[in-house]
Structure 1
Amino acid sequence: MAQIEPAPVELDIRGHVARVRLNRPAALNAIDREMDRALGRIWTQVDDDPEIRVVILSGAGDRAFCAGGDMNDPPTGHDGLSFGGGLTGIGGQWRPLRKPMICAVHGYVLGLGFELAMCADIVLAADDAIFRLPEAKAGVIDHCGVVHRAIRQLPYHVAMAMIVASEPLTAQDALRHGLVNACFARADLAKGVDQWIDKLLACAPLVSQAARAAALDGLDRPLGEALAASYPLISAYRDTADQAEARSAWRERRAPLWSGH
């Protein structure tokens, strides 16, 4: 009987939470073309499912969240999408998620894996996580979009040390520089993820999505223009059941029950 190969990316949907796990541990979860295509399909499914409110991205195995692109079978983008299934904006059309995403990292977080982590809204790190851009030391560079996020999300000289000298960044330093939200002992990382899931699920999902979209849109505008702009998801929220539930819960002095509608 032929052995069935495991899926390169695992998707587990329970309730309002979608858990996405990179699943090539023998290759340190390096992203090849098959994994890239699988991520594209999963991001579409997650974004199109109105019941999903939180996305968790993690990596299988003990050694790495993701060691970057697979040099033996590098991702090339597909269907016009960028690498990472369209999430990164590298090499094609950028298609960011509408849902808030938590990225839980451990071990090696390199190159394209570092980029995927920076695409998340919340990053939680095990204390053994090592962030690195190996391009300069390896002498390889192609569609190096990761540098644009690194220089925006880290202090200038810290980012430049990573970019021009492949200087690694420990989980503790990443926390100190604000790149990650929290750092946990490796054994406690899953518990930390669950705590953050509870925090997000306690919030109105449509508000989280609308505020997130407005914040990201506003980054591309001068402050005055961002303040004066109107944002479709915020406008649409005014007529939702959750808006009415927020008012009722406030009047009745109780915790709101969000429907996502």
Structure 2
Amino acid sequence: MSTTEVRTDVRTDIRTERIGSTLLITIDRPQARNAVNAAVATGLAAALDELEADPALRVGVLTGADGTFSAGMDLKAALRGESPEVPGRGFGGLTEAGPTKPLIAAVEGWAMGGGFELALGCDLIVAAGDARFGLPEVKRGLIAAGGGVIRLPKRIPYHLAMEFLLTGEPVSGRRAGDLGLVNRVTDTGDATAVALQLAEQVAMNAPLALAAVKGIVRAADGVPEADAFAVQREEMGDLTASADVREGMNAFAERRAPQWTGE
């Protein structure tokens, strides 16, 4: 891997590291099991802005410090009047943000409530086999309003999603893999390393094409096929006019690795 650049903002409890073309984003509040308060939410939003703004960054990996992904909303902070949401971006500054670049969750330990919803807000999930995923909001008189109620029934069969949402009971990372919620199941402690490897695979591809895939999948959700194809035609028009498409064809013909410019 290339030289790693580490930037830490103690105020926001978010740490970012540039590893090649990947931005590793770590929620760094281990004393609170990486629960999300207002500072974490604004810090995570800022990290996503960094990912989006820099053309040298192709993929983001989101994880938590010291063997815990995130315990979800910081209830003590919420009782003090803090909001774990960022206006227009949702819980943790992520769940409604819709970043154009691929985002991978690397889950160790607990991903509970809003922590699980942060993972659901990512495009891919890598988890340790003994990680724990759950949406316990109903146990506290709430619902999983950070995307859990909306997204989970689209990811797994209805009855399985409803078991999460109605019982509030967690499942292991291995069980989440069996359900199709997780792309890779790893040994304990290996989730971030495997997520970074997966990020490298993704980053080898054309950045405009990656963004187009995300845009089309998002636009096609719940709409008639004719509307989805209309969006796809528009995206394809932009792609076929790009320099990267020509570079991809030339690289194939010349039997070399493409040099993407994102143009």
Report what 2:246 is aligned to. 244
Of the candidates 65, 70, 80, which is equivalent to residue 66 of structure 1?
70
2:75 match: secondary structure: coil
| Counterpart in the other structure of 1:92 | none
Unmatched segments (≥5 aa) in structure 1: 90-94
Instruction: State the partner residue of 1:88.
Output: 95
Kindly provide the CA deviation profile for residues 185-216 of structure 1, in whole angstroms up to 9, marking residues without a partner as x: 01332331232022112211211111221111
Are the equivalent residues in 2 in contact too, given 1:214–1:231 (CA < 8 A)?
no
Partner of 2:25: 20
1:7 offset after TM fit, Å? 4.2
How many equivalent residue pairs?
Answer: 251
Partner in structure 1 of residue 236 of structure 2:
234
1:221 maps to which residue? 223
SS of 2:169 mapped into structure 1: coil
RMSD of the TM alignment (CA)?
Answer: 2.0
CA contact (8 A) 2:86 2:92 kept: no
TM-score after normalising by structure 2: 0.88
- Give 3-state SS (helix, strand or coil) of 1:186's partner: coil
Contact 2:121 2:147 in 1 (8 A): no
The alpha-carbon deviation at position 138 of structure 1 amounts to 3.0
| C-alpha contact 2:106 2:126 (8 A) present in aligned 1 | yes
SS at match of 1:174: helix
Query: What is the deviation of 1:145?
Result: 3.5
Contact conserved, 2:125 with 2:183, CA < 8 A, in 1? yes
**1:209 is aligned to 2:211:** yes
Partner of 1:118: 120
Distance 1:238 1:209, change over 3 A: same
Give the TM-score of the pair, scaled to structure 1. 0.88
Once the two structures are TM-superposed, the CA of residue 165 in structure 1 deviates from its matched residue by: 0.9
